[in-house]
Amino acid sequence: MLAVPRVAWRLSRVLGHVLHGYVRSWLVWPRLDERGRDAECVRWSGKMLRMLGIELVVQGQARPGAKLVVSNHVSWLDIVALNAVVPSRFVSKAEVADWPVVGRMVTQAGTLFLTRERRRDAMRVLGLMAKGLREGHTVAVFPEGTTGTGHGVLHFHPNLLQAAIDAAVPVQPVALRYADPEHVVSPLAAYVGDTSLLQSLWWVVSARGLVVHVQVLPLQATTHADRRALAALLQDQVGAAVAP
């Protein structure tokens, strides 16, 4: 763990970067086209990882064009790490839209908000996902529906995968793994249990040598696919990639 003064300095830089992104979300983003927003997203996310003291290691390359990105879920960091590699419109819980500063930024990034307590809302979001995919966008989901410790994957729920099937676009599986300098899965990145966002942020900025490995796995076609079989296949693929 880093000394407190070093952590405080790192934290102040992170806060400044978030505020800078917030200002740009008002002044710059509305004037950008899709390609410009993607480039802005990649730059901002990559810089955020560096300010957090996290090294980004990428294996593989995502194909251009419309696709549904499917990844395991470990932390709030996942969105930053994925956007640094594959800028996407994420599906997120509705409460995030009301978060100070961050809510505005993710809304401008085209996030689709899902009210989990309303079962019918999943159908609405599914329709918006399919529409975005047909229009050529990249949409990203975490089919586990919650965060895990990073040592493996939880059950992949199939429902939201139907959007890729309906839009006839491929699925791009991505495996995320957070490790320490000895390449061991780091518990400091996991945002699980009763951990608060502030606690998680403090652990991350206090970490020494934290590395996020983003492994882009082979595309999966969705033509004539069954969503349950597809979910099981993706779970096996991502699970094998994150296994110690």
Residue 1 pLDDT: 66
* Interval 191-234: pLDDT, tens: 998 999 889 999 999 999 999 999 999 999 999 999 999 999 99
* Interval 144-177: pLDDT, tens: 999 999 999 999 999 999 999 999 999 999 999 9
Residue 108 pLDDT: 84
* Interval 86-139: pLDDT, tens: 999 999 888 888 878 888 888 888 899 988 777 788 899 999 999 999 999 999
Residue 101 pLDDT: 82
What band does 184 get if pLDDT is binned at 50, 70 and 90?
very high
Tokens of 33: 């086209």
pTM, two decimals, is: 0.94
Does position 52 have pLDDT exceeding 90, yes or no? yes
For residues 239 and 118, the model is more confident at 239
Residue 117 pLDDT: 74
Residue 102 pLDDT: 83
Query: CA 10, CA 40: separation in Å to the nearest integer?
Result: 22
Q: Are 198 and 94 in contact (CB under 8 A)?
A: no
Q: Which of 156, 123, 122, 159 is nearest to 142 (CA)?
A: 156
* Interval 1-46: pLDDT, tens: 677 778 889 999 999 999 999 999 899 988 999 899 999 999 999 9
Q: Are 185 and 150 in contact (CB under 8 A)?
A: yes
Among the ranges given (4-8, 202-206, 235-239, 240-244), the one the predictor scored with the smallest mean pLDDT:
4-8
Which residue, chain included where needed, has tokens 């000895």? 182
Residue 116 pLDDT: 76
Give the SS3 label for residue 84: coil
CA angle 142, 147, 152 (to 5 degrees): 90
Instruction: Identify the structural domains of the chain with CATH numbers, from first to last.
Output: 4-242 (3.40.1130)
Tell me the Cα Rg of the chain: 17
Residue 72 pLDDT: 98
